[in-house]
Amino acid sequence: MNRKKIWGSVGYYFLTTLIAVIVMIPFFWMISTSLKSKGALMAMPIQWIPKEPTTKAYSQVFTMFPFLKAAGNSLFITFTYTLITVISASMAAFAFTKIKFPFSEKLFKVYLASMMIPTQVTLIPLFIIMNKLQLINKYPSVILPSLFRVFGIFLLVQNMRSLPDDFIEAAKIDGANLFRIYRKVILPLCMPTIATLCITTFMDCWNDYLWPLLMLTDKNKMTLTLALNSLNGQYGTAYNVLMAGSLLSMIPIILVYIIAQTQSKKGSIEGGVKG
């Protein structure tokens, strides 16, 4: 390896390490703030490493508001939302790519065109619909929009279009019907893309604030984002407790990411042998 390549490698690793450190600064500040006492929060100069670290803020998370109840609500809503999104989007993508029906391409283009409509524009019509269905302050009002996730359909359509029809023809010869082909052949082959969709959908729903704020007015049904926002008082904010709660709320997202990454590695092999 010549000197130019060596310096290029050194520069590359230095730059990537520097970017990683810059990106991690807010996360490190959250950890530092969560380990501070209330009096040390505004200490000058800033204490990046607390002189007297304490875990009191983590215990206060469970006493200042119903953290476990809010976390349970968020988990239920988010897992249900993600599951419905994956099922509905994958079925729609399978129909658009592998089932021939009239005006399929035109209908798909209409779906894509709806992606250009800002989410804020649909809030009022959706609110009126949920109100007419008497679903305000009920979990289904937050979950039902998952039936129409155009991004998920678009993502899976691009993946399924790249799959050879030979897999489907072989499965038909073996006597498999469309649903069995979809479940045993197409889904395993699309598992890496589905894993990506699961991660993005889970994060979007878990961190969503505006739509649950409009739909859920009962404190017993509020999500974790709404519960954490309740720490922002009129005359002050418990930043250490807020940071502690925010860090705890990251655990489900990290776990889902790890599980989805593991499952995505099995997809290509399983799809080729099942059917």
**Residue 208 main-chain phi, psi, to 5 deg:** -65, 135
Question: pLDDT tens digit string along 160-183?
Answer: 888 888 888 888 887 878 888 888
Q: Are 184 and 171 a contacting pair, CB within 8 Å?
A: yes
Tokens of 134: 């008497």
Confidence of residue 269 (pLDDT cuts 50, 70, 90): very low
- Domain extents in the chain: 1-54, 60-273
Confidence of residue 263 (pLDDT cuts 50, 70, 90): low
As a whole number, mean pLDDT of residues 127-145 equals: 90
Supply the pLDDT for residue 83.
93
As a whole number, mean pLDDT of residues 201-217 equals: 89
- Reference 253, options 89, 109, 71, 126; nearest CA is 71
Q: Please spell the DSSP secondary structure of 101-166, one letter per residue.
A: -TTHHHHHHHHHHGGGS-HHHHHHHHHHHHHHTT-TTSHHHHHGGGG--HHHHHHHHHHHHTS-TH
How far apart CA 229 and CA 241 sit, in angstroms, is 11
Confidence of residue 272 (pLDDT cuts 50, 70, 90): very low
Q: Which amino acid is at 7?
A: W
Q: Are 33 and 235 a contacting pair, CB within 8 Å?
A: no
Q: Which amino acid is at 26?
A: P
CATH of segment(s) 60-273: 1.10.3720.10
Longest dimension (CA), the chain: 75
Question: pLDDT tens digit string along 34-48?
Answer: 887 766 666 666 777
Confidence of residue 77 (pLDDT cuts 50, 70, 90): very high
